[in-house]
């Protein structure tokens, strides 16, 4: 229940090819979306669903990006990539942006799923894109963070790290903050792609950074044989 008294909706994806949507009151309808097996690969849903304009958007391991009606779960459209989609979508300016294991970053239309553009990297794209200042910021398993033009997908700059980038970048005051599996948190100029500073956490960073009141919060492994994740706060 929101602060204004309105009831929201909860969309939950699972690893068994289904998506549930539940209202917060007992008398509201609940529906389940179950993907038909395409035969190409598993239809597992590992992305975080995004709700926008009465549609729920999510990708599957069978390479499908779906838009389903948030009221009843019927399919509005679907878009096919060449490999699994494990990058959660981002919706901005009537477009849906996401990456795929086919090494591409896609932009498609929000209303009908029509292809707009793609950009090819050299590795799987698991990073959920971040949109800011008309740029699409997204990491890849090719050890790079890319800044792409939101309109046509052309590369504006790329920044190379020492391992894969799987997190969703955070942008504030024209600085892009993101972590890498090389164990470093980077701060990079949003417009030029130049390094501002880096912090070595000593172990892989897969979580997306959160910014609040001049502080940066992010999670990291501790580098031990037995995983013991840490939450780290920085004062840049």
Q: Which of 38, 78, 36, 40 is nearest to 56 (CA)?
A: 78
Q: What is the radius of gyration, based on Cα positions, of the chain?
A: 18
State which residues form the domain around 177. Answer: 127-236
CA distance 176 to 54: 30
**CA separation for the pair 71, 23 (Å, rounded):** 10
Is residue 94 included in any domain, yes or no? no
Q: Identify whether 168 is part of a domain.
A: yes
Q: How confident is the model at residue 3 (pLDDT cuts 50, 70, 90)?
A: very low
Note whether residue 98 is domain-resident: no
Residue 37 belongs to some domain of the structure: no
* 95: β partners: 92, 109
Residue 90 lies in a domain: no
**Is residue 28 scored above 90 in pLDDT?**
no
Whether 79 is covered by a domain: the verdict is no
pLDDT, tens digit, 9 for 90 and up, residues 87-113:
999 999 999 999 999 999 999 999 999
Q: Does residue 115 form part of some domain?
A: no
The count of residues in the chain is 236
What is the predicted pLDDT for the residue at 91? 97
16 has pLDDT over 80: no
Mean per-residue pLDDT for 73-92? 96
> What mean pLDDT is predicted for residues 7-31?
51
Q: pLDDT, tens digit, for every residue of 182-235?
A: 999 999 999 999 999 999 998 899 999 999 888 899 888 765 444 556 666 666
The DSSP secondary structure of 186-215, one letter per residue, reads: EEEETTT--EEEEEE-SS---SPPEEETTE
CATH number reported for the structural domain that contains residue 224 in this entry: 2.40.128.630
Query: Structure pTM?
Result: 0.84
Residue 158 buriedness (CB in 10 A; 0-12 / 13-18 / 19+): middle
- For residue 63 the two structure tokens come to 């390479």
Number of independent structural domains in the chain: 1
Dig out the tokens for 165 from the structure.
């980038």
Tell me the mean pLDDT in the region 52-62: 93
Whether residue 25 lies inside any domain: the answer is no
């Amino acid at each position: 229940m929101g602060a204004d008294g309105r009831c929201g909706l909860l969309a939950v994806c699972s690893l068994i090819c289904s998506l549930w949507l539940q209202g917060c009151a007992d008398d509201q309808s609940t529906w389940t979306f179950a993907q038909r097996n395409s035969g190409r690969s598993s239809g597992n849903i590992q992305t975080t669903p995004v709700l926008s304009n009465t549609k729920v958007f999510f990708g599957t391991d069978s390479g499908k990006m779906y838009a389903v009606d948030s009221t009843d779960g019927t399919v509005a459209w679907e878009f096919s990539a060449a490999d699994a989609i494990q990058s959660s979508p981002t919706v901005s300016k009537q477009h849906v942006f996401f990456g795929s294991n086919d090494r591409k970053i896609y932009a498609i239309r929000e209303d009908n799923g029509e292809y707009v553009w793609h950009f090819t990297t050299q590795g799987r794209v698991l990073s959920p894109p971040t949109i800011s200042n008309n740029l699409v910021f997204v990491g890849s398993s090719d050890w790079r963070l890319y800044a792409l033009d939101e309109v046509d997908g052309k590369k504006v700059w790329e920044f190379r790290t020492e391992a894969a980038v799987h997190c969703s970048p955070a942008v504030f005051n024209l600085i892009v903050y993101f972590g890498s599996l090389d164990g470093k948190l980077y701060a990079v100029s949003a417009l030029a792609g130049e390094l501002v500073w880096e912090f070595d956490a000593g172990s892989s960073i897969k979580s997306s950074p959160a910014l609040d009141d001049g502080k940066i919060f992010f999670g990291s492994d501790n580098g031990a044989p037995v995983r013991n994740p840490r939450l780290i706060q920085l004062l840049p």
